[in-house]
Amino acid sequence: MDNRAAAFQTACMRRFVILLVCTLGAPLAAAAAEPPTVEVWKSPTCGCCTVWVRHLEAAGFQVQVTNLVDVAPVKQRFAVPPELASCHTARVAGYVVEGHVPAADIVRLLREQPRIRGLVVPGMPVGSPGMEGAGARPYEVLAVDDAGATTVFATHEP
Ligand SMILES: [Cu+2]
């Protein structure tokens, strides 16, 4: 290949890359501006679940709620370890979100995109979003990896 052919090929390649960035970049930028929809499964009578949904909406998330008398099969389907379970289960961008996880931690999850199954707040700690009230105590948001092992993702003080 002579120099001119090589230069032409490089120019073509550069144009191709620019085109690729332009076509892929626009929808990605739009996606970044608009947070993805959060799907939530909860019991129809769960009050704290509804307050948590309102908390997500107030933070700018679109939320799609499915009411189910028995949420356990959903937790099983998304491989939420039973000992880490809470009242409601959610999915966003392929991650599972179990329990009263603050919206700010979901925003961080979507920004950092760690290789984990999702985030959980086991039980229903008083002081977490949707569980406001007297007797708030510190609680942790845990990251669950694909093996079901946990690490602390965030700690929240009352
Ligand atoms: Cu709850």
Shared domain check, 42 and 26: no
Cα(131) to ligand 1 centroid in Å equals 7
Cα(10) to ligand 1 centroid in Å equals 58
Shared domain check, 48 and 12: no
Q: Give one DSSP letter per residue of 41-100, joined into a string.
A: EE-TT-HHHHHHHHHHHHTT--EEEEE-S--HHHHHHTT--GGG--S-EEEETTEEEESS
- Is the confidence at residue 6, as pLDDT, over 90? no
Cα(85) to ligand 1 centroid in Å equals 10
Cα(98) to ligand 1 centroid in Å equals 10
Is pTM beyond 0.85 here?
no
Q: What is the pLDDT of residues 59-76, one digit of tens each?
A: 999 999 999 999 999 999
Range of 43's domain? Answer: 35-156
Q: With bands split at pLDDT 50, 70 and 90, how would you rate the model's confidence at 23? A: very low
- Is the confidence at residue 17, as pLDDT, over 70? no
Shared domain check, 73 and 16: no
Q: Which residues pair with 65 in a beta bridge?
A: 40
Q: What is the pLDDT of residues 113-128, one digit of tens each?
A: 999 999 999 999 999 9
Cα(53) to ligand 1 centroid in Å equals 10
Q: Where does residue 46 rank: exposed (0-12), middle (13-18), buried (19+ CB within 10 A)? A: middle
- Is the confidence at residue 15, as pLDDT, over 90? no
Shared domain check, 12 and 70: no
Cα(126) to ligand 1 centroid in Å equals 9
The pLDDT, as a whole number, for residue 8 is 47
- 147: domain CATH number? 3.40.30.10
- Is the confidence at residue 40, as pLDDT, over 50? yes
Cα(122) to ligand 1 centroid in Å equals 10
The pLDDT, as a whole number, for residue 93 is 97
Cα(121) to ligand 1 centroid in Å equals 10
Number of domains in the chain: 2
The pLDDT, as a whole number, for residue 19 is 44
Q: Which one has a higher pLDDT value, 108 or 17?
A: 108
- Is the confidence at residue 112, as pLDDT, over 50? yes
The pLDDT, as a whole number, for residue 127 is 97
Shared domain check, 75 and 24: no
The pLDDT, as a whole number, for residue 32 is 54
